[in-house]
Amino acid sequence: MSKENLNPLESAQLQVKKACDSLNLGNDVYELLKEPQRMIEISIPVKMDDGTLKVFKGYRAAHNTAIGPGKGGIRFHPGVNPDEVKALSVWMTFKCGVMGVPYGGGKGGITVDPLTLSQGELERLSRGYIQGLYKYLGEKIDIPAPDVGSNGQIMAWMVDEYIKLTGENHMGVLTGKPVSWGGSQGRNEATGFGVSVITREAAAKAGINMKKANVAIQGFGNVGRFTVKNVERQGANIVAIGEWSPKVGTFAIYNENGLDFQDMADFVDQNKSLVGYPKGKQITLEEFWALDVDIMIPAALENAIQEKEAKLIKAKLVTEAANGPITAEADAIFKEKGIIVTPDILSNAGGVTVSYFEWIQNQYGYYWSEEEVIEKEEAVLMEAFDDLWKFKESRNCTFRKAAYKHGVKRITDVMKLRGWFE
């Protein structure tokens, strides 16, 4: 078995290189796109509840701002490191390019397990991140949002800190805020809802009837949870969930008759995890990946599906809901097996799309109804899906390649107009 390269930056760079080569763009464009334009590392001192001082590492990358300000979430996770932040910022550039939203790519993170902090410590850490970076953030500079381990409350503390430091009420400096203070209706569910729209469209192409489909989903966080909710609404049967908890590590639950979204959500809200959920039986991870399902949706973290998992997977369709969940080796196996993979930069782009809607609403101080947001999100995603599907069919390439070529071309055209190369 080959030793897989799991460095997310190297795999993002490989995807960009392949797209540049197949568009005959020459090396200058690749040199401009392979690393972020700006990468900042900060130390964040936090007074802990016991009176001690702890210093955390924080990062913010602005990958490419040719089209518009940087855009991308802030991850709170113990695994956050400079290469991961850079890779996630690269993916954001092309996600915005594919969706046609007027942003470049950005991403940030703090190396921390937020579950180990008290509310007070979490608030001081969130405010400290803004104190270290506010000069490089702004509605027209770089616009963060939530990602793994962060949420609307954290965005509210961060915007409050930004307003205090700058003295100006720029609500659009961060998106993913609570609806009661500058957030958009539908933003919390936007990524999972978008995943369900792309899954439905791709399933139709793959000849899968959603009403009869069996689906397995890895991850029951923000993205996974709302993917489950909306895929269930389409009539599919969610037979398994793969999850992780600090106490037991990775685990999976299974029920061939279907797991109920609301029941699982209530259980997690009460118990903080799906560990011990009584209406599904425990299965091993090997059994989870090898399930006889129509659709598999990884919605947890990058590199979840490697060579070993790809060999086990029997689904006809894999929707990438997380960022970078499939390694290059696993992708090659899917291609060989004829499994359709919808790429992350399309399938999870509902989040950035509704972040864009939130930013527009903030500029105007005029807010839309939930129905309006959902309708607009669905329309934008279906149009992007149709464009890429036609592109993929006409060039006889994978969905991922079509998405990267499309994204790289859009950014390259603008860089050329702006005189950044040639």
List of residues contacting ligand NAD (CB under 6 A): 146-149, 191, 218-224, 242-244, 250, 299-301, 321-323, 348, 351
The smaller minimum CB distance to ligand NAD, of residues 25 and 195, is found at 195
The smaller minimum CB distance to ligand NAD, of residues 148 and 228, is found at 148
Please spell the DSSP secondary structure of 239-288, one letter per residue: EEEEEEETTTEEEEEE-TT---HHHHHHHHHHHSSSTT-TTSEEE-HHHH
The smaller minimum CB distance to ligand NAD, of residues 319 and 412, is found at 319
- Minimum distance between the CB of residue 414 and ligand NAD, rounded to whole angstroms? 23
Residue 6: C-alpha distances to residues 27, 91, 201, 269 (Å): 24, 16, 30, 33
Q: Is 107 a catalytic residue?
A: yes
Q: Which residue is nearest to ligand NAD (CB)?
A: 221
- Distance CA(261)–CA(267), nearest Å, equals 10
- Minimum distance between the CB of residue 166 and ligand NAD, rounded to whole angstroms? 25
SS3 at position 364:
helix
- Distance CA(315)–CA(306), nearest Å, equals 15
- Minimum distance between the CB of residue 274 and ligand NAD, rounded to whole angstroms? 8
- Minimum distance between the CB of residue 151 and ligand NAD, rounded to whole angstroms? 8
The smaller minimum CB distance to ligand NAD, of residues 128 and 219, is found at 219
Q: Which amino acid is at 105?
A: G
Residues in contact with 89: Cβ distance below 8 Å, sequence separation at least 6, in sequence order: 36, 61, 62, 63, 70, 72, 105, 106, 107
Phi first, then psi: what are they for 23, rounded to 5°? Answer: -95, 5
Q: Are 87 and 11 in contact (CB under 8 A)?
A: yes
- Minimum distance between the CB of residue 264 and ligand NAD, rounded to whole angstroms? 11
- Distance CA(326)–CA(120), nearest Å, equals 36
- Distance CA(392)–CA(402), nearest Å, equals 5
Helices (H) and strands (E) in the chain, counts: 15, 12
- Minimum distance between the CB of residue 251 and ligand NAD, rounded to whole angstroms? 8
The smaller minimum CB distance to ligand NAD, of residues 106 and 149, is found at 149
Strands laid side by side in the 142-146 sheet:
38-47, 53-64, 105-111, 70-77, 142-146
- Minimum distance between the CB of residue 211 and ligand NAD, rounded to whole angstroms? 26
- Distance CA(317)–CA(323), nearest Å, equals 17
The smaller minimum CB distance to ligand NAD, of residues 149 and 407, is found at 149
- Considering the candidates 71, 107, 316, 392, report the single residue annotated as catalytic: 107
The smaller minimum CB distance to ligand NAD, of residues 29 and 182, is found at 182
Q: Are 288 and 216 in contact (CB under 8 A)?
A: yes
Look at the block and give the residue holding tokens 């770089």: 142
Give the residues across from 341 on adjacent strands: 318
The smaller minimum CB distance to ligand NAD, of residues 65 and 175, is found at 175
- Distance CA(300)–CA(112), nearest Å, equals 17
- Minimum distance between the CB of residue 126 and ligand NAD, rounded to whole angstroms? 15
* Longest alpha-carbon distance in the chain: 63
Residue 56: C-alpha distances to residues 53, 107, 418 (Å): 10, 17, 38
Query: What amino acid positions are annotated as catalytic residues?
Result: 107
